[in-house]
Amino acid sequence: MKDFLFLHIRDLPYFRALLRAVESRFYQGLDLPSPILDVGCGDGHFAQLTFDHKLDVGIDPWAEPIREAATRGVYNLLTQADGARMPYPDAYFASAISNSVLEHIPHLDEVLVETARVLKIGAPFVFCVPNQNFLPTLSIARFFDSLGWKTLANSYRAYFNKISRHVTCDDPTQWTKRLEAAGFRVEKYFHYFSPAALATLEWGHYFGLPSRIIHLFTHRWQISSAYWNFVPIMNYLRKYYDEPVPQEQGTYTFYIARRI
């Protein structure tokens, strides 16, 4: 298998690279028949590194990411449109993915119904989202909890959820109900990304300030993309990248659902 940790960390801040690298591994070996729809394809970076072949269609509501995705050559077709109003025929796609996208969508139920509409009966829908462990596990909030500062702890959780742009951090029971209402059956799910891995991601938002400054002036996250530049941080992150799954207390969940 590719070293997804290195591939992602060349292009992204280390905390985001860690999570995306872990997720890239989960798609390896999955049966995703064509045509494949990527719901919330963004700039195409994740698909470019994760798959060894082009995906058929990517959809995203934002113009700038779509333009960037077009430069990567990873989709046969790109569409700028709202996921709740897809310009595709009924039962057209044989599979769909959505990587760390659905948690950001306010009108989520509408998007799920529309995704079901454009999928063939029996088509897999594969996606991942933060779960019910995400907010309670945040390390700074837990520190405030330990001091009895509940109001401050909850304020921090609300703040971090806001900068993460999360609308939902639901558990599998809630997701199962939501998916069944939209026309899906949950076939399998598992939790991943331990509380320690989440703490690494959480603190990366603050320790990653130098990368943000570099990006502001150069439009790159790293000064050099040479392998040697990433050896120290990869050595630190490797234990989280190699975590076994499932993680009982994992803070994200990977779902495989199927259109019924």
Average pLDDT score over residue span 108-126: 98
Looking at residue 193, what is its pLDDT? 98
Whether 125 has a pLDDT exceeding 60, the answer reads yes
Q: What's 18-45 look like in SS3?
A: HHHHHHHHHCCCCCCCCCEEEECCCCCH
pLDDT tens, residue by residue, 45-86:
999 999 999 999 999 999 999 999 999 999 999 999 999 999
Among 91-100, 165-174, 205-214, which stretch is predicted with the lowest mean pLDDT?
205-214
Token pair in block for residue 245: 């799954």
Domain boundary among 115, 147, 165: 165
Number of domain units in the chain: 2
Looking at residue 218, what is its pLDDT? 60
Whether 43 has a pLDDT exceeding 80, the answer reads yes
pLDDT tens, residue by residue, 28-41:
999 999 999 999 99
CA dist 199 and 218 (Å) reads: 28
Whether 2 has a pLDDT exceeding 60, the answer reads yes
- pLDDT band at residue 223 under the 50/70/90 scheme: low
Q: Within this chain, do residues 56 and 148 fall inside the same structural domain, yes or no? A: no
Q: Within this chain, do residues 69 and 45 fall inside the same structural domain, yes or no? A: yes
Q: Within this chain, do residues 30 and 101 fall inside the same structural domain, yes or no? A: yes
Question: Of how many residues is the chain composed?
Answer: 260
Q: Within this chain, do residues 64 and 186 fall inside the same structural domain, yes or no? A: yes
**pTM attached to this predicted model:** 0.92
Domain boundary among 165, 185, 218: 165
Average pLDDT score over residue span 163-169: 96
Q: Within this chain, do residues 171 and 138 fall inside the same structural domain, yes or no? A: no
Domain that residue 145 falls in? 133-165
Whether 210 has a pLDDT exceeding 70, the answer reads no
Q: Within this chain, do residues 113 and 214 fall inside the same structural domain, yes or no? A: yes
Q: Within this chain, do residues 94 and 212 fall inside the same structural domain, yes or no? A: yes
Domain boundary among 146, 165, 184: 165
Looking at residue 209, what is its pLDDT? 65
Whether 229 has a pLDDT exceeding 90, the answer reads no
Q: Within this chain, do residues 141 and 224 fall inside the same structural domain, yes or no? A: no
Q: Within this chain, do residues 146 and 126 fall inside the same structural domain, yes or no? A: no
Check which CATH number belongs to the domain holding 34 and give it.
3.40.50.150
Q: Within this chain, do residues 217 and 94 fall inside the same structural domain, yes or no? A: yes
Q: Within this chain, do residues 151 and 41 fall inside the same structural domain, yes or no? A: no
Q: Within this chain, do residues 126 and 159 fall inside the same structural domain, yes or no? A: no
Whether 221 has a pLDDT exceeding 60, the answer reads no
Contact 112, 75 (CB under 8 A): no
Contact 66, 89 (CB under 8 A): no
